[in-house]
Amino acid sequence: MIFNETGPYYNAMDRDYVANRGTEPVNDYAPETQIEGAPVPAPLFDVNELGQTVTEGRQFGTFIQSVQAAIRAGAGTVELATQMAGTDRGVGAEAYGKEAREDLRELAKANEIKFTGVHSPTQVGNLSGYLDPNRGFSWEQRKFFLDEVKRAINFLADISPTGGAVVVHTGEYQRPISEQPWARDPENPDRFMFKGYDEEPFTTVMPLVDKRTGHVIQQVRKNQVVPRAVWNRYSEANKDLFGKHGGKSYYDANGHIVQPEDYVDYEGNWMPREQRVPMYDRERNRFVVEEQEWDDFVKEAEEINAEFMKEHGRQPVGDDLVTPEEAFLRATTETQKRISEGWAGIYAHDMDKDFERVEKLKKVLAFYEKLEKNIPEDEKWRLARQVREFGGVLEEFVPPDTKYPTEIIKENIHSLKDRIFNHREAVVGQTQSAMDQDILQKNAVSAWKYAQKESIKSYAEAAIYAMDQTKERRLEKPVFVSPENLFPEMGWGTHPEELRDLVKWARKEMEDRLVKERNFSQDGAKKAAEEHIKATFDFQHMGMWWKHFEPKYPGEPEDERKKRFDGWYLKEVKKLVDEGLIGNLHVVDGMGGAHHHLPPGQGVFPIRTVLEYMKSKGYTGSLASEAWEEGPARQLTKYWEYMGAYSRPTGLVGPVAPGGPQRWSDVFQSYFGKTYPPNYIFGAYAPSNDWTLWSQVPME
């Protein structure tokens, strides 16, 4: 739509209409530049840069139809949001064949718009393979979602010669908000800045998975209490040893220096963690066992990590870093392992002597078999022995049996063999159980470790595929994979710090793969990774963190809390912008922490401040309005008005009416420069005095 390009703009029923411009609009956009000779300041973003997201399905039709509707509304750019195949008839990237894709490409070319991206189906909520808290992760699920992303990459490469974003919702696994490092107030680590809910810091569940399968092994609840042995240390609790050395360091019998709090055996010799023994209470003649809580395992994890730092000279990361929930599992598996090893030792005790006894009895048996064979029958009674089955008082009531030596010896051999068999099975079973606990401990990892590895691997794989498609189709600009910050409750990747890590780590993974597998130079691989992995930032999803933003003190006024939140909001976005991580924007507003889609400026989030900062930093990525909450009529027009866009693209050739280009606020929902309707008809719209209805009925 172009207003005042070559003269007055006429409606079909207008008569010599001349618009009353009214006063010039107030410059509240703080732009960096001005159009030469124009009294109106340059817009934050031009109208041909501002587009919208469209979708498909029974309500919206095919993309051919929804894109045409966007074009008629005036969109300069369009992002396509695909639906999952099978959820409705004829939806999904692969529901569009060669001719349909060609139609979309020609439709964009003919109307001079750009497809800036394709949104993978919203059902694709992660690329880690995450199923749910009880089942954990699935390789099949990861592949299923990754294939869906690759379909979107193919689709975009077919319809857009200028590439764009393939958007993927992040929610790589559900994690407790209060347990994350960014959840604490940096000025006061004892205070939470974010919490999922009030009870979360005390009752949250921390899942552990088997890194070989991704299946959940155990879910550790923070308020869970575990009875556990108190380990023997050189500490004040070990009164005799501590008193003997006065709490000072000493050398043990093996020449090892023992420091306070080191593990020691019952003779005061230093012991490694793996061989530590429980404390023995001599007065009560028992080993000391006590209840341990979450904080005890936090301390144990810190201790293990400190030992790693001391041994390796670096901070533990990844699998080397032990978390409190992993320390909890180690505690339980260690106990079970020691029980199994103890029983195995008991059952194995004297088994070697039983084998020797069997061999001796076999020799004795051979002797008596020969003796009984050669002795006359009437003399055999001399060899018979009385065998009592019962002892004690029962001997008086139950007479003894009379058996020959060979019979008695055979019974003893049989009994010994049975005992050896049973003990052998018990020893093997207990040994296997101890080994199982050891294997479980080595392969159990916190869910977040597994999820991050799988997600990073998937994003790198998808980005390499996008790079290949960009080259094969000879696109003008790259297709890039674009993780989008989703709702806070959806899990890892939704917080801006997590989004930063996801993009940076996925880029590093892609870079390493290209160097190793494709013979890229380090610089070439880094450049490719930066081109093909960029974040999509959703303003409203970011705003949903408001509902988890904790008051600084009880009764903090809402406006003060909101001011602090806006400061945090801007600070976090600046980090993403300054590191060059954002390549796509979903410009949408909201009134609070719920999930809604309002036009920018109709909500409460600091969108303008963020956009002005991004503009000042030279942001050149795409922008799409997802503000469909108030209907399609306002999805674009209120968006353009908010951006200070002119009512015609600045790149068009042709004369501009006196007074310079108009803002959307001058023409949208306005009456001759006023933003409220008149009380009566005036100007060129008013009928002349000599005009009457054909019915001769007077006008009122």
Residue 332: CB atoms within 10 A of its CB come to 16
Domain check: are 360 and 470 in the same one? no
332 and 415 in contact (C-beta within 8 Å)? no
334 and 226 in contact (C-beta within 8 Å)? no
Domain check: are 104 and 168 in the same one? yes
- pLDDT tens digits, residue range 224-260? 888 888 889 999 988 889 999 999 999 999 999 999 9
| Tokens at 527, concatenated | 């450049």
Domain check: are 520 and 632 in the same one? yes
267 and 313 in contact (C-beta within 8 Å)? no
Domain check: are 614 and 479 in the same one? yes
Domain check: are 134 and 78 in the same one? yes
- How far is CA 103 from each of CA 64, 100, 111, 161, rounded to the nearest angstrom? 8, 5, 12, 14
Residue ending a domain, choose from 406, 441, 476: 441
Residue ending a domain, choose from 399, 421, 441: 441
Asked if residue 634 belongs to a domain, the reply is yes
Asked if residue 249 belongs to a domain, the reply is no
| Tokens at 626, concatenated | 């997802």
Maximum Cα interatomic distance, the chain, rounded to a whole number of Å: 157
**What is the identity of the amino acid at 326?**
E
Asked if residue 468 belongs to a domain, the reply is yes
Domain check: are 460 and 396 in the same one? no
Domain check: are 391 and 436 in the same one? yes
| Tokens at 200, concatenated | 């979360």
Q: Which domain holds residue 653?
A: 47-173+451-546+581-674
Asked if residue 558 belongs to a domain, the reply is no
The 8 Å CB, 24+ separation contacts for 191-195 are: 191/550, 191/552, 192/550, 193/549, 193/550, 193/568, 194/545, 194/548, 194/549, 194/550, 195/548, 195/550
Confidence at residue 441, expressed as pLDDT on a 0 to 100 scale? 85
Asked if residue 278 belongs to a domain, the reply is no
Pairing of strands 226-229, 216-221: unpaired
Residues of the chain with pLDDT under 50: 1-40, 650-658, 671-673, 680, 682
Domain check: are 490 and 355 in the same one? no
Sheet with 216-221, strands from edge to edge, namely: 216-221, 205-210, 444-446
Domain check: are 379 and 504 in the same one? no
Domain check: are 644 and 505 in the same one? yes
3-state helix, strand, coil in the chain (%, to 5): 45, 15, 40
Number of domains composing the chain: 2
The DSSP line for 444-504 is EEEHHHHHHHHHHHHHHHHHHHHHHHHHHTT-SS-EEEEEE---GGG-TT-SHHHHHHHHH
Domain check: are 68 and 115 in the same one? yes
Asked if residue 93 belongs to a domain, the reply is yes
- How far is CA 363 from each of CA 143, 172, 358, 410, 419, rounded to the nearest angstrom? 67, 70, 9, 11, 20
Residue ending a domain, choose from 441, 469, 485: 441
Asked if residue 198 belongs to a domain, the reply is no
- pLDDT tens digits, residue range 334-381? 777 777 777 788 888 888 888 999 999 999 999 999 988 888 888 888
Confidence at residue 660, expressed as pLDDT on a 0 to 100 scale? 52
54 and 66 in contact (C-beta within 8 Å)? yes
Q: Which helix (H) or strand (E) holds 440?
A: helix 405-443
Domain check: are 104 and 124 in the same one? yes
Pairing of strands 535-538, 130-132: unpaired
Confidence at residue 692, expressed as pLDDT on a 0 to 100 scale? 58
Domain with residue 483: its CATH number is 3.20.20.150
Which SS3 state, helix, strand or coil, does residue 232 take?
Answer: coil
Question: What gap in Å lies between CA 263 and CA 385, rounded to an integer?
Answer: 58
Task: Tell me phi and psi for residue 218, to 5 degrees.
Answer: -155, 150
Asked if residue 562 belongs to a domain, the reply is no
